[in-house]
Amino acid sequence: MLGALLTLMACGDKDDTGAACTPGCDGDVLTECEGGEAVETNCATDGMICHDLEDDSHCMMDDMDM
């Protein structure tokens, strides 16, 4: 009984969606996770930069060019 409980604890509600996708920025390329799949956007295409905030990463205007 104890062995079965330990097995369930080790394998219980494991969320594998994060293993296939890591949100964030790689240069001007934004990676967002949708349904566990990586979706990439090149922020520079729209004249923006990638603002790296892990799960909250996003494309934003580059105010440094003003």
For the stretch 3-56, pLDDT in tens is 543 443 444 444 444 457 999 999 999 999 999 899 999 999 999 999 999 899
pLDDT at 60 over 90: yes
The whole-number pLDDT of residue 34 equals 92
Alpha-carbon distances of 29 from 3, 7, 13, 22, 58, rounded to whole Å: 46, 40, 32, 13, 10
Q: Find out whether 32 and 39 touch, Cβ atoms under 8 Å.
A: yes
Report the chain's terminal Cα–Cα distance, integer Å: 67
The whole-number pLDDT of residue 5 equals 39
Query: So where are the chain's domains?
Result: 14-65
Global pTM value: 0.64
Q: Which distant-in-sequence residues (6+ apart) come within 8 Å of 51 by Cβ?
A: 25, 57, 58, 59, 60
CA distance 7 to 23: 31
The whole-number pLDDT of residue 13 equals 41
